[in-house]
Amino acid sequence: MRSNPETEPMQKGWRYEFAGILLVAVALLSIVSLYLAPPNELTPSTTGILGNILARSLTLLAGDGRYLMAVFFGVWGLIMILQRRWLGLSRKLYGFLALFLCVLTFLHMQLPLISVNFWEVALQGIGGGLIGAILTWFLVGVFGDLGSYIVLGSILILSILCITNQSLVTIVRKCGGGLVVFWQRFKESAEQFLFVPVEEES
């Protein structure tokens, strides 16, 4: 028996909605678990063993960026529900992913890079977690401390370009124009506040 061509897109859309709802549920469970349960201890809590496993996994992988990782999955699921299609690695998603990795690396680079404690703090969910530790270890080993910040800054700019889908010149012009407008309004407000005209008594 052949399937109805009209109902086939609806069936595929239902699959994407189901996957999106599942991602959103995992994200919400992870956020609640991270808030309620100690992420490094698998103890029964309001969200159960599964919630603790999710919290521990996110903390181990992303460290202080664990909430961002959970939100990323939730947004991914919402987009799948709304668009009813599989959300692959598009240009914007690459940008968000690169931005997220930059944040994790930056969080880990703020820690004292002591060889004895470098990986231990990552396993404890401090800094950028294992992901941040691996990226920091690679960048510092190849480019050094100062070079790592330069590389991170370059990747950060590229990620913003991918997310906004605009050129660097356009973004700089818009930011410059926004600053000029802000300064003019601030100047006018300050002048009106400081130089209030006083009416002379007759």
Q: Which of 110, 93, 103 is nearest to 155 (CA)?
A: 103
Both 182 and 94 in one domain: the answer is yes
Amino acid at 38: P
189 vs 150 pLDDT, higher one: 150
Amino acid at 58: L
Both 63 and 98 in one domain: the answer is no
Both 96 and 162 in one domain: the answer is yes
Q: Which domain holds residue 152?
A: 89-194
Both 52 and 149 in one domain: the answer is no
Question: Looking at the predicted structure, is the pLDDT value of residue 9 above 70?
Answer: no
66 vs 166 pLDDT, higher one: 66
13 lies in a domain?
yes
- Last residue within a domain, chosen from 87, 110, 125: 87
Own/partner contacts of 93-97, CB < 8 Å, gap of 24 or more, are 94/159, 94/162, 95/158, 95/159, 95/160, 95/161, 95/162, 95/163, 96/72, 96/159, 96/163
Both 93 and 190 in one domain: the answer is yes
Question: Looking at the predicted structure, is the pLDDT value of residue 196 above 50?
Answer: yes
Both 77 and 16 in one domain: the answer is yes
201 lies in a domain?
no
CA 29 to CA 5: how far, in whole Å? 37
- Last residue within a domain, chosen from 59, 87, 115: 87
- pLDDT tens by residue, 33-78: 888 765 555 455 567 788 888 888 888 888 888 898 888 888 888 8
Both 55 and 28 in one domain: the answer is yes
Both 65 and 131 in one domain: the answer is no
Q: Identify the pLDDT of residue 151.
A: 92
Percent of the chain's residues with pLDDT above 90: 6
**Residue 153 near residue 105, CB atoms below 8 Å:** no
93 vs 68 pLDDT, higher one: 68
- Last residue within a domain, chosen from 87, 106, 128: 87
Query: How many structural domains are present in the chain?
Result: 2
Q: Identify the pLDDT of residue 1.
A: 45
82 vs 114 pLDDT, higher one: 82
Both 82 and 97 in one domain: the answer is no
Both 150 and 179 in one domain: the answer is yes
136 vs 93 pLDDT, higher one: 136
Both 101 and 172 in one domain: the answer is yes
